[in-house]
Amino acid sequence: MCINRSTEVNSNVSRALVEASSSYIIVPLVVGSGIWGLLSLECTGRERYWQDLEIDLASNIATQLGVAIQQSLFFQELQTELKERKRAELALQKLNQELELRIEQRTAMLRISRKNSQINERRFRSFFDFAPIGIAVTDIKTDQLIAVNQSFCQLLG
Q: Which domains does the chain have, with CATH numbers?
A: 2-67 (3.30.450.40)
Using 50, 70 and 90 to split pLDDT, how confident is the model at 79? very high
Question: Mind giving me the DSSP string for 97-154?
Answer: HHHHHHHHHHHHHHHHHHHHHHHHHHHHHHHHHH-SS--EEE-TTT--EEEE-HHHHH
Using 50, 70 and 90 to split pLDDT, how confident is the model at 1? low
How does pLDDT run across 22-61, given as a tens digit for each residue?
788 999 999 989 999 899 888 877 778 899 999 999 999 9
How does pLDDT run across 108-149, given as a tens digit for each residue?
999 999 999 999 999 999 999 999 999 999 999 999 999 999
How does pLDDT run across 9-21, given as a tens digit for each residue?
665 555 556 566 6
